Structure 1
Amino acid sequence: MKAKWFPIILTALSLVLLLSACGGNNANNKTNNAGSEAASTPEATDASEAAKFPRTIKDANGEVTIKEQPKKIAVVHWGYIDSLLLFNVDSVGLALPFTEKQSVLHSDEYKPYVDKVKDIQIVGENTQVNMEKLLAYAPDLILAGNAINKDIAADLTKIAPTVMIDEQQTDVWSDWPSLVTKFGEILGQEDVAEQYVSKFKADLASAKEKLANLDGSVAFVQVRENEVWLQGTNYTKQYYEGMGLKAPASDTMTEGEKISLEGLSALDPDYLFLGYFNYSDKTIPAATAQWENSEVWKKLKAVTNNHVYGINGELALGYGPIGNSYGVKAVLEALQK
């Protein structure tokens, strides 16, 4: 009986082993294929990025052709820093509005953007470009403004291909989304620009809805070392138009002006935001410090009702996307308390 069934059992066992081996080979093939596909993804991405260049960009002087994806980008317009850091770039050279020590690059709000850049070089401070440092940085591409950088425009083009942004058509002071969109076009990262602008607009709409029942006027002032500046509605549209805040009734509110304590008392806003420019460096004095012990200050409606809020003026009262995004969040949190 055992002898009769042995060949049949042996044949069946062989068949099982054969099928198992085939299944194992198929599984190995799938694993290897999956590994190959994963490994090829970065190459495909790189190829996609490379395919976006060369590209021709219209600027204030005509057209500029960018032959290859730039690896080192210098921004010599001090108002453009925020906008560039939104994008995926490995190396940047920056001209700053203040000194490097005072720079908002060290702030918590900038940290996520700064950390993703492998190399940051400072090529200017206090709005002045240091041409020697710029030359030493050796950028592949320079981004500049035709008004701010007009005196050095010819020198810039000798260092690297330079895109001179038309500052009347693309005005960072009142419309940074248009600049971010332009940068997306220049860098071949239109999707990054669109995503950030869309999110900012959605955040504004949400904030406006949440503050719809806020009663009273709101004023913003820049607090410098020796002077205080009232922020005009033309330059703070994100708060007045975007968030629906009400400005104090005054002819000075449109453009803003240097303001004294007596001038602030005449405005007498219900809510007051002090945009400190020593927010990151307290060794620098704040002009309002000498106001706070006076009877005029104590009688302000905002002071009496505990509606005075300190914020980072360099960010919230600046002109770029990172600063404005911080400002909208900070203002909303303060006014919801």
Structure 2
Amino acid sequence: MFKLRKFGLLLTFILLLVSVVTACGSKNDNNASSGASPSASESASASAGASASSSASASSDAGATTKKVTDGMGREVEVPAKAERVVAISNFGDLLALGVKPVGTINYYLDKYKDEPEAVAGIESIGDQDADNEKVLAATPDLIIVSNYFKPEVVDALQKIAPTYATTFGRTPYEQLDDLAALLNVEDQKQAFLDGFKADAADAKEKLKGKIAEGEKVGILQFWSKKIYEHPTKVFTPLYEDIGFQPTEHVKTLTATTEVTQEAVPANVADADRLFIMVDGQADIDTYDSLKASAWKNIPAVQKNQVYLVDSGHWNDFSAAALQWQLRDVVKLLGK
């Protein structure tokens, strides 16, 4: 299993290439397996079956300070009726979108906001890629958010610190927002985000008028560990559903993330007017530079200089934050 932040940058493909979700175990008795591993994955194929597996609908009396909810691990958990000190080991971007600023999270998430320091100002680091339980305890949370791919013993250890709720891995960002908004009683903030994103998408579309043609097709690739992967459209709804790009004929056939060879890419993206490539660092950029001068030099998007390198750390998050990052990047790159 890949370790640390690099594992998280695999986006959907690691868990889409296998049929069983596996989680990194705790490093030691003080460490909780973090959301840094498959957090981005949230596979399109998994989301259909996941929608009924957990619910934050509450069983509580009016005026009660706590409520009972069933989480993504099928556990009945008693949580605060209105949590005020949330530690996010998963779903960090979704919480920010809901206006809930966690008191603590792991560096895996904090690093994604290196260009938006105001968004994470005042949030404590509770570990690098894994949460250190002693740091979690020091943050004095009244609620801890994890994902249901965490090992039960890890969740049990966190539960001893504060009520711990497991979200359901495999849900779309919108489904995660529904679940967390119900859990945290922030339905108004959820609607505000949705309304704001809808307005941003409409603004993006307006800014791109005259920049892209009706019916333009885009291909999206991800470089990872000297391999290349393709993803189904579900992962990039801002491009396909909000801006209105069309998928390539090849992408239409994808139901799961798939590894592709360098040699197969030209045929797969032959009808793409534009190509977005997710990269993580200079090595990936160098790989593309080499390919565009050799094996990929006849790809139409390459010949038209319509290939755009984007940050895997943003595009891979499969969260409400990723929706915003994808939308903003497309406007920035194409709206010039």
| Coarse TM-score class (shorter-chain normalised) | 0.5 to 0.7
Q: For residue 40 of structure 1, what is the aligned residue in structure 2? A: none
Aligned residue runs from structure 1 range 278-289, under 5 A = 278=281, 282=282, 286=285, 288-289=287-288
2:119 pairs with 1:120 = no
Unaligned runs of 5+ in 1: 1-50
Which one-letter code corresponds to 1:70 in the other structure? A
Give runs of aligned pairs for residues 1-337 of structure 1, distance below 5 A.
Answer: 53-60=65-72, 61-67=74-80, 69-77=82-90, 80-89=91-100, 91-95=102-106, 97=108, 103-108=111-116, 111-115=117-121, 118-125=122-129, 128-150=130-152, 152-167=154-169, 171=171, 175-205=172-202, 207=204, 213-250=213-250, 253-267=254-268, 268=270, 269-278=272-281, 282=282, 286=285, 288-289=287-288, 291-292=290-291, 294-337=293-336
Amino acid at match of 2:250: S
Distance in 2 between the 1:187 and 1:247 partners? 36
Q: CA 1:132 to 1:228, structure 2 compared with 1: closer, same or farther past 3 Å?
A: farther
Q: Is the 8 A contact 1:93 1:123 kept in 2?
A: no
Q: CA 1:123–1:237 in structure 2 vs 1: closer, same or farther (change >3 Å)? A: same
Q: Distance in 2 between matches of 1:148 and 1:245?
A: 36
SS of equivalent to 2:295: helix
Measured after TM superposition, the shift of residue 272 of structure 1 is 0.6
Decide whether aligned partners of structure 1 residues 88 and 233 sit closer, same or farther in structure 2, where only a CA change above 3 A counts. closer
Number of corresponding residues: 267
Q: Is the 8 A contact 1:309 1:334 kept in 2?
A: yes
Higher helix share: 1
Does structure 2 conserve the Cα–Cα contact (< 8 Å) formed by 1:83 and 1:321? yes
Decide whether aligned partners of structure 1 residues 84 and 91 sit closer, same or farther in structure 2, where only a CA change above 3 A counts.
closer
Deviations 1:38-89 (A, max 9, x none): xxxxxxxxxxxxx784444342335433346434322222xx1101223455
- Structure 1 CA distance, aligned partners of 2:303 and 2:292? 13
| Aligned equivalents of 1:249, 1:234: Cα separation in 2 | 15
Structure 2 counterpart SS, 1:297: coil
Identity of aligned residues (%): 22
Alpha-carbon separation, structure 2, partners of 1:112 and 1:230: 33
Go from structure 1 to structure 2 and tell me whether the alpha carbon gap of 1:231 and 1:67 turns closer, same or farther (over 3 Å shift): closer
Give the whole-Å Cα distance in 2 for the aligned partners of 1:332 and 1:253: 26
Residues 76 and 149, structure 1, Cα contact 8 Å, conserved in 2: no
Deviation (angstroms), 1:119? 3.1
Aligned equivalents of 2:175, 2:217: Cα separation in 1? 29
Taking the aligned partners of 1:266 and 1:320, their CA distance within structure 2 comes to 31
Give me the whole-angstrom Cα distance separating, in 1, the residues matched to 2:244 and 2:292: 32
Q: Answer with 147-156 or 316-325: which moved more.
A: 147-156
SS of alignment partner, residue 262 of structure 1: coil
Q: TM-score w.r.t. structure 1 length?
A: 0.67
Structure 2's unaligned 5+ residue stretches are 1-62
TM-score, normalised to structure 2, is 0.68
Structure-2 residue corresponding to 1:6: none
Is contact 1:222-1:275 (8 Å) kept? yes
Q: Which has the higher contact order (CA 8 A, sep 6+)?
A: 2
Q: CA, structure 1 residues 325+52, in 2 after alignment: closer, same or farther (shift >3 Å)?
A: farther
Distance 2:152 2:88 in 1: 14
